[in-house]
Structure 1
Amino acid sequence: MIVPLSIVSLLALVCLALLASPYPFLAPGAVLGLVGVAVLYRRPVWGLLGIAALVPFEGLFKDNAFSGTKFLGLALVLILMLQLALRQIPETRLRSNIWRPLVGFMMLYGLSLLLSENMDLSLTHFRDLGVGLVLFVITLLIGRELNLDLFCRVVTLSVATTCVMAMFSARYQEQGRASGLLADPNVFALLIAFTVPLALLLVMRGPSLLHRLFWGGCFILLLGGMTKTESRSGLVVLMLSLMIGLYHYRAQLPRVRPRHLGFAMLGLAILIPVAIAVMPDGYVARIQSLSILSNGARAHQDESLGRRASYIVVGSQMIRENPVLGSGPGTFPLHYAPTGYAKAFSANRKLGDLYRRAHNTYLEIFSEIGIPGGLMFVGMLGLGLYNLWHARRLWLARRDWAQADLLTHLGTSFLSLMLFLMFLSAPNHKLLWIMLALTSVLRYDAEQAPSREARP
């Protein structure tokens, strides 16, 4: 109890100082901070849940120097450092097979940073990536206390809430496309694609019909939100996730009776026409435009596909010019802006549109950090996916179907993140680094389960 009392004393002094300062109205905030720190000290995992829940609402805090997410992150860092120093958390929790590729990637990243063409851009990129690295360490330390069912509920509710806001309010739309509280509709689509497998898990695990109906409603909201984003990449990733789910539950198909099949066909007969009727015309046109890929993307046929093709051309040239260490983190826009592609796709737009990111995390990493660094990054994500597959195989060998189902849905969500990185520049996405650390935690739990069961 010595540490909590010291924290109370410190914040009490802060409150007294604020009351005596020209800003006494800040004193209640210090009291709330005291309560928050005390709760996080007892339950640090609640802070991790809070960070995951606030990811869809980051747009609310973009103009604030100190947001709720930053408060939770800073408080967790200080609390966990203190608990490590007091040996309340064993250092062995930091062990992970992800460290080897991650350390290799960061070493190459550091060399590329030192030789960067623009140090200011590279330092900004490093600062953003540092947030993900901190979350990776935090999740390793407290991930074993994380209630994964609660994690699924929190993420599903937060993303479904933003879907409601985006579907029924033009304020949360970008040029007619739903973006929620985020700046890019595709980033919003990434969150939805990540959450859909989690929502389906809650539907399957619902303890009662009422629970299953509630989570089924959230699932429908997620599908509606995906439709409003008009994201073609989101639709592709979503369909792949549903196919993985069908393959995983294929053993349960023989349990379907003819009467169940009849109800399913009736539901599809109603759902498909309704979905087509409510689907925006622009989304249908965007989906149909994918047919031109067989003949090559042309800007006059589809500007978005043409622009993405130009990113590949510029990124490939950057890789040829600097294959080992790249041009420096965050420098892709500097190479893209002087090209004719930037001018062609920025007609009648503001000057800032000339400086565009690659909208492909893998292409961006390979072109900015170099081929060795890119391979380390891809290997790191691939190892994370293997961790989930290995853990699922262990649970299946023990005939623990509930844990195997959980690993399948979490693995599908992580795979959705990995696939979406081909359409977005998001190497610092918070959920990516949280899930990357969770893969090590879940594999460790699966491997240690027999010894735990053997304990009296």
Structure 2
Amino acid sequence: MIIPLSLIGLLAIVSVVLLASPYPFLAPGAVIGLAGVLVLYRRPAWGLLAIITLVPLEGLFKDSELTASKFIGAALAMVLLLQLAVGQLPGERLRSSMWRLLLAFMALYLLSFLASESSEMSMGHFRELAVGLVLFVLTLLIGRELNLPMMYRLVTLSVGVTCAMAMFSAKYQDEGRASGLLEDPNVFAMLIAIAVPMALWLVFSSPNRLQRLFWLACVVLLLAGMTKTNSRSGLVVLAISLVIGLVHYREKLTHLRPRHLGFAMLGLAIVLPVAVAVMPASYIERIQSLALLKSGVNAYKDDSLGRRSSYIVVGSKMIREHPLLGTGPGTFPLEYATTGYAKAFSANRKVGDLYRRAHNTYLEIFSEVGVPAGLAFVGMVMLALYNLWHARRLWLQKGDQGQADMLTHLSTSMLAIGLFLMFLSAPNHKYLWILLALSSVLRLKAEQARPVQVAG
């Protein structure tokens, strides 16, 4: 109890100082902060769950310098450093198969940073990436205590709440497209694609009918929110996730009787026409525009597809000219603004509209940081998928079907992130770095677990 007592003493001093300062009304905040730090000290995994829950809700605090996520993250980092210092937290938890790729990526990132064409933009990019790196380390340290079913519930509920807000309030829409609290329909679509596999696991694993109906209603809400985003990439990723789910549960489908199949066909016959009827006409038009890809992209037919094609052209040119270290982290908008595409696709001719990101994380890293760093980053995403799938296979070998099912759905969420990175510039996304670390933790946990004893 040495560390908690020292924390109490420190915060007591802070409270006294605040009472004697021109801002005495801040003193109660120190007491609340003390309570929060003590809770995190006893249950640090709760802090990580809180951060995960707050990701879809971060838009509520966009105008505040000190947000709930920042406060919890800073407090959690302080607590874990103290526990490491006194030996209460074993340092071996930092062991991960991801470190080689991550250290290689960061070494190349640093070299690219030093050779950057714009140190200011690179510094801003690094500040964003640093948040992900901190979450990676925190997850490695406390991932073993993370309650995965609770994480699935909290992610489903938080994303579901933002879906409801976006569907029924124009305040959380961007030109008619649902954007939730993040002001970006595509980022919002990625959150939904991550949450759907988790929500489906809750439907399948719930112990009673009432809970299954509740989580099924959440799935319907998430799917409705996806249609409201008008995101074509979201629809593609969601379709892939559902196919993976069907493949995983194919053995259970073989036990269905003909009468069950009849009810399923009747349900589809009712649901599909209703879904098409309630789906926004603009979304149907955007989906139909994908047919343009067969004959090449025509910018005058679809401005969005034409703009994305221009990102590929500019990014490819950057890679050819700077293959080793790129032009510097965060400098793609600077390069793009100097091309004719920036003016051609600028909707309002504003200066800020000329500086566009690549809307493709992989392309952005390859062009900004170089090909070697890009390969290391792709390797981390692939390794995370392998870790989760390998852990799933180990649980199956040890006879724990429940753990294997849970990891199947988490693998699908990780795959959704990996696929969405082809349509978004989000190298610093919190869920990405949390799952990168969590994949290593879950693989190690599966390797060390004992086989399930079957009662004879």
Residue in 2 aligned with 1:159? 159
The structural deviation recorded for 1:242 is 0.1
Can you list the C-alpha shifts for 1:382-411, whole angstroms capped at 9, x where unaligned?
Answer: 111111111111111222111110110000
Residue in 2 aligned with 1:179? 179
Residue in 1 aligned with 2:217? 217
Residue in 2 aligned with 1:41? 41
Can you list the C-alpha shifts for 1:106-129, whole angstroms capped at 9, x where unaligned?
Answer: 000000000000001001101110
Measure, in 2, the Cα distance between the counterparts of 1:374 and 1:214. Answer: 42
SS of 1:66's equivalent? coil
5 Å matches for 1:114-193?
114-193=114-193
Residue in 2 aligned with 1:399? 399
Residue in 2 aligned with 1:376? 376
Measure, in 2, the Cα distance between the counterparts of 1:154 and 1:347. Answer: 38
Measure, in 2, the Cα distance between the counterparts of 1:451 and 1:220. Answer: 37
SS of 1:324's equivalent? coil
The structural deviation recorded for 1:451 is 8.3
Equivalent residue letter for 1:299: A
SS of 2:450's equivalent? helix
Measure, in 1, the Cα distance between the counterparts of 2:42 and 2:174. Answer: 41
Residue in 2 aligned with 1:345? 345
Equivalent residue letter for 1:399: G
Measure, in 2, the Cα distance between the counterparts of 1:452 and 1:370. Answer: 46
Q: Within the alignment, does 1:313 sit opposite 2:351 as a pair?
A: no
Equivalent residue letter for 1:371: V
Measure, in 2, the Cα distance between the counterparts of 1:247 and 1:269. Answer: 22
Greater shift in the superposed pair: 304-313 or 395-404: 395-404
Identity of aligned residues (%): 69
The structural deviation recorded for 1:274 is 1.1
Measure, in 2, the Cα distance between the counterparts of 1:99 and 1:396. Answer: 27
The structural deviation recorded for 1:175 is 0.5
Structure 2 length-normalised TM: 0.98
Equivalent residue letter for 2:70: K
The structural deviation recorded for 1:259 is 2.2
Q: Within the alignment, does 1:50 sit opposite 2:22 as a pair?
A: no
Equivalent residue letter for 1:295: S
The structural deviation recorded for 1:28 is 1.8
Q: Within the alignment, does 1:255 sit opposite 2:255 as a pair?
A: yes
Residue in 2 aligned with 1:232? 232
Structure 1 residue ranges (4+ consecutive) displaced by more than 4 angstroms after TM superposition: none
Measure, in 2, the Cα distance between the counterparts of 1:400 and 1:348. Answer: 57
The structural deviation recorded for 1:348 is 2.7
Equivalent residue letter for 1:280: P
SS of 1:450's equivalent? coil
Measure, in 2, the Cα distance between the counterparts of 1:87 and 1:222. Answer: 43
Measure, in 2, the Cα distance between the counterparts of 1:48 and 1:348. Answer: 41
Measure, in 2, the Cα distance between the counterparts of 1:16 and 1:349. Answer: 54
Residue in 2 aligned with 1:104? 104
Q: Is the 8 A contact 2:343 2:349 kept in 1?
A: no
SS of 2:63's equivalent? coil
Residue in 1 aligned with 2:203? 203
Say what the alpha-carbon RMSD is for the aligned residues: 1.1
Equivalent residue letter for 1:79: V
Measure, in 2, the Cα distance between the counterparts of 1:342 and 1:270. Answer: 46
The structural deviation recorded for 1:258 is 2.0
Measure, in 2, the Cα distance between the counterparts of 1:82 and 1:308. Answer: 47
Can you list the C-alpha shifts for 1:231-272, whole angstroms capped at 9, x where unaligned?
Answer: 000000000000000000000112212222222122112111
Measure, in 1, the Cα distance between the counterparts of 2:165 and 2:383. Answer: 36
Measure, in 1, the Cα distance between the counterparts of 2:280 and 2:115. Answer: 47
5 Å matches for 1:259-278?
259-278=259-278
Q: Within the alignment, does 1:359 sit opposite 2:359 as a pair?
A: yes
The structural deviation recorded for 1:419 is 0.2
SS of 2:271's equivalent? helix
SS of 2:207's equivalent? coil
Residue in 2 aligned with 1:444? 444
Q: Within the alignment, does 1:68 sit opposite 2:68 as a pair?
A: yes
Residue in 1 aligned with 2:325? 325
The structural deviation recorded for 1:294 is 0.7
Greater shift in the superposed pair: 208-217 or 250-259: 250-259
Instruction: Give the number of aligned pairs.
Output: 453
Q: Is the 8 A contact 2:132 2:428 kept in 1?
A: yes
Measure, in 2, the Cα distance between the counterparts of 1:386 and 1:202. Answer: 23
Q: Is the 8 A contact 2:332 2:368 kept in 1?
A: yes
The structural deviation recorded for 1:452 is 10
Q: Is the 8 A contact 2:347 2:353 kept in 1?
A: no
Measure, in 2, the Cα distance between the counterparts of 1:45 and 1:398. Answer: 26
Structure 1 length-normalised TM: 0.98
Greater shift in the superposed pair: 385-394 or 281-290: 385-394
Equivalent residue letter for 2:232: R
Measure, in 2, the Cα distance between the counterparts of 1:75 and 1:348. Answer: 43
Q: Is the 8 A contact 2:398 2:450 kept in 1?
A: no
Measure, in 2, the Cα distance between the counterparts of 1:53 and 1:253. Answer: 33
Consecutive unaligned residues of structure 2, counting only runs of 5 or more, are: none
Q: Is the 8 A contact 2:172 2:183 kept in 1?
A: no
SS of 1:97's equivalent? coil
SS of 1:252's equivalent? helix
Measure, in 1, the Cα distance between the counterparts of 2:107 and 2:338. Answer: 30
Can you list the C-alpha shifts for 1:155-214, whole angstroms capped at 9, x where unaligned?
Answer: 110000000000000000001000000021000000000010000000000010000000
